Amino acid sequence: MMNPFRWKQMVFLMMASFLILTPFQTYEDAGVMAGNDDLGEEIRTILMDEDLDGALAGVSIRSAESGEVIYEHDGDLRLKPASNMKLLTGAAAMEVLGPGYTFTTEILAEGEIKGKKLHGDLYLKGKGDPTLMEKDVVAMARSLKEKGIREVKGDLVADDTWYDDIRLSEDIAWNDETNYTGAQISALTVSPNEEYDAGTVIVAAHPSDTIGGPAEIKVTPENDYVEIVNRATTVPSDQLKDISIERKHETNQIVIEGTIPVDGSRSRSWIAVSEPTGLALNLFNKALENEGIKVKGKEVVDGQTPKAAEVLLSQESIPLEELFIPFMKISNNGHAEVLLKEMGKVVHGEGSWDKGLEVVEDFLNDNSVDADTMRLRDGSGMSHVNMVPANEISNLLYKVKNKEWFPAYWESLPVAGNGERFVGGTLRYRMNDTAAEDNVRAKTGSLTGVTSLSGYVTSADGEELIFSILLNNYLGSVKDVEDDIAVTLAEYEKNSEE
């Protein structure tokens, strides 16, 4: 005779099975599109990829017209968003700062200018511009010369106090500290080229003309702030290139090691410098020297401009809507953190991560995006402690569609399969020759064990959809899962199911 307790267990399991299969179950419970079961089944099949075994997946799909969630799979599960965090930071920056917002760098003087001499200190004051380049610093030095200044009797002072002096967000890993993706944040910083990786230098190793000779090293911008230790040698053309370019932690010593074939191509790395304010000051001092302006005093990296100082000239950045192209297209982490600190400065008078995150959270809640269900730790998504549900990302993407600044936001998103770097961005080599090519506009994200893709797609029957895909805790590579879902949405024809 069967144990009564065991019999009750069997009855309960049979009833539970019936409930799982009942046609009255909602899409929230089962992750099935109401009235669109074929599409729901396709996405569920994609999510059964063996590379997701033991992993977590959050998927949310909405109608771009109504905002209705038409499919979700664990859409309320808090997951690491990686660089999809930039969608939140970027939207808040567009709202709070505005698409026309610019950053300023100033040259100020304390003291009297008599003839060709400044009898006092000269200040280089940064206000967060991540697009400042060596050519801009040179132009400012030239402008000082045109004003007739030939000598500074006092010190040359760098002022980065527009933001706080915390250089790295709290969850940056030690091995990211020298990488350009984890560059230190300063209100006074210089970028090596038009991609605006502020606070970095580009170090390139070229073969010499002589086998056995040291590799030729070029640093952009040229400076005396970093120390180059060249241990790389040129080898015969039949040998392999094996070059490492690394900065020693807590120093600005960059070590180049390995071998490079005599007829081989260059090796190049973007290296984050330690205390980037000092690099900006070094370049400005060099520019002054090249213009024939002598500085009698010393370089002061940690100074603060007196209130009585006079502004001699200023340099203005490109507007925010133009900065958004490299920021979002190629996922520039430094831009996100600068925007976060700038929002904190503008709204709360404090350029810090804490105050910037307050602004982002307030923006989200003000727009009916539930920040209370998130944990936000930085602006870029580099933190492994950020946690955001896919449903809230798709909700944000719906809510911003009616903003005046949305066209600039939309334009900044990477375009699937478009080979132009500043159009396709991080999606330029993905979803080529599919219905998603030149259709999907979405922000990518990637950390170890984390990938994300959220944005917009037009289905085959012309319906605009919003999607968010967050995949966490996998061991292999699952970007194909993201792409398969995006392509499935692009191929979807609602009418074919009716």
Residue 140 is part of a domain; what is its CATH number? 3.50.80.20
Q: Are 489 and 467 in contact (CB under 8 A)?
A: yes
262 and 296 inside one domain: no
Q: Report DSSP letters for 9-68, one per residue.
A: HHHHHHHHHHHHH-TT--HHHH---TT-HHHHHHHHHHTT-GGGTT-EEEEEEEETTT--
Q: Is residue 6 part of a domain?
A: no
Measured in whole angstroms, how far is the alpha carbon of residue 32 from the centre of its chain?
A: 33
423 and 434 inside one domain: yes
| Residue 422 burial (CB count, 10 A) | 15
Q: Are 338 and 344 in contact (CB under 8 A)?
A: no
Q: Is residue 308 part of a domain?
A: yes
Instruction: Tell whether the model's pLDDT for residue 3 goes beyond 60.
Output: no
423 and 360 inside one domain: yes
430 and 475 inside one domain: yes
Q: Is residue 343 part of a domain?
A: yes
387 and 400 inside one domain: yes
pLDDT tens digits, one per residue of 196-250: 999 999 999 999 999 999 999 999 999 999 999 999 999 999 999 999 999 999 9
CA distance linking residue 310 with residue 351, whole number of Å: 23
CA distance linking residue 433 with residue 70, whole number of Å: 27
Q: Is residue 195 part of a domain?
A: no
88 and 112 inside one domain: no
Pairing of β 104-114 and β 310-316: antiparallel
Structure-token match 């100074």, residue found: 303
Q: Is residue 418 part of a domain?
A: yes
Active site positions, annotated: 83, 86, 331
Q: Is residue 225 part of a domain?
A: yes
Query: Which one of 272, 287, 307 terminates a domain?
Result: 272
3-state secondary structure of 371: helix
CA distance linking residue 2 with residue 384, whole number of Å: 51
Residue type, 115: G
Query: Which one of 263, 291, 318 terminates a domain?
Result: 318
Question: Which pair of tokens denotes residue 211?
Answer: 């086998």
Structure-token match 């010499």, residue found: 208
What pLDDT was estimated at residue 496? 53
Mean pLDDT of the chain: 92
Share of the chain above pLDDT 90, in %: 90
pLDDT tens digits, one per residue of 29-76: 444 444 457 888 999 999 999 999 999 999 999 999 999 999 999 999
* Structural domain for 336, as ranges: 27-100+321-497
Q: Which of the pair, 250 or 87, is modelled with greater confidence?
A: 87
Split into its structural domains, the chain has a count of 3
What pLDDT was estimated at residue 38? 81
Q: For the chain, percent helix, then strand, then coil, each to nearest 5?
A: 35, 25, 40
282 and 391 inside one domain: no
Query: Which one of 242, 272, 302 terminates a domain?
Result: 272
Least confident range from 31-35, 251-255, 324-328, 360-364: namely: 31-35
Segment 10-16 shows an average pLDDT of: 43
Q: Which of the pair, 12 or 462, is modelled with greater confidence?
A: 462
Least confident range from 22-26, 377-381, 478-482: namely: 22-26
Q: Is residue 490 part of a domain?
A: yes
Structure-token match 């038409």, residue found: 70
Instruction: Tell whether the model's pLDDT for residue 416 goes beyond 50.
Output: yes
Q: Are 322 and 341 in contact (CB under 8 A)?
A: no
What pLDDT was estimated at residue 36? 56
Q: Which of the pair, 15 or 403, is modelled with greater confidence?
A: 403
284 and 155 inside one domain: yes
37 and 110 inside one domain: no
357 and 429 inside one domain: yes
pLDDT tens digits, one per residue of 259-302: 999 999 999 999 999 999 999 999 999 999 999 999 999 999 99
Under the phi-then-psi rule, with left for phi > 0, alpha for psi from -120 to 50, and beta for the rest, what region is 296? alpha
pLDDT band at 494 (very low <50, low <70, confident <90, very high): confident
User: Which residues in 339-494 belong to E strands, given as ranges?
Assistant: 388-389, 441-447, 450-458, 464-472
268 and 281 inside one domain: no
pLDDT tens digits, one per residue of 153-203: 999 999 999 999 999 999 999 989 999 999 999 999 999 999 999 999 999
Question: Which pair of tokens denotes residue 354?
Answer: 């804490």
CA distance linking residue 110 with residue 381, whole number of Å: 41
- Measured over the CA atoms of residue 20, residue 23, residue 24 and residue 25, the dihedral's sign is positive
Residue 485 φ/ψ, nearest 5 degrees:
-65, -45
What pLDDT was estimated at residue 23? 32
3-state secondary structure of 470: strand
Instruction: Tell whether the model's pLDDT for residue 438 goes beyond 80.
Output: yes
Closest CA to 439 of 391, 398, 481, 489: 489
Q: Is the pTM of this model over 0.75?
A: yes
What pLDDT was estimated at residue 26? 35
Query: What 8-state DSSP symbol labels residue 497?
Result: G
Instruction: Tell whether the model's pLDDT for residue 119 goes beyond 90.
Output: yes
Under the phi-then-psi rule, with left for phi > 0, alpha for psi from -120 to 50, and beta for the rest, what region is 151? beta
What pLDDT was estimated at residue 24? 30
User: Helix crossing, 353-366 with 85-96: angle to 10°?
Assistant: 80
Q: Are 82 and 450 in contact (CB under 8 A)?
A: yes
Residue 121's H or E segment, with its range, is: strand 117-126
Segment 106-120 shows an average pLDDT of: 95
3-state secondary structure of 301: coil
CA distance linking residue 228 with residue 225, whole number of Å: 10
| Residue 298 burial (CB count, 10 A) | 9
442 and 302 inside one domain: no
Q: Is residue 220 part of a domain?
A: yes
Segment 394-411 shows an average pLDDT of: 98
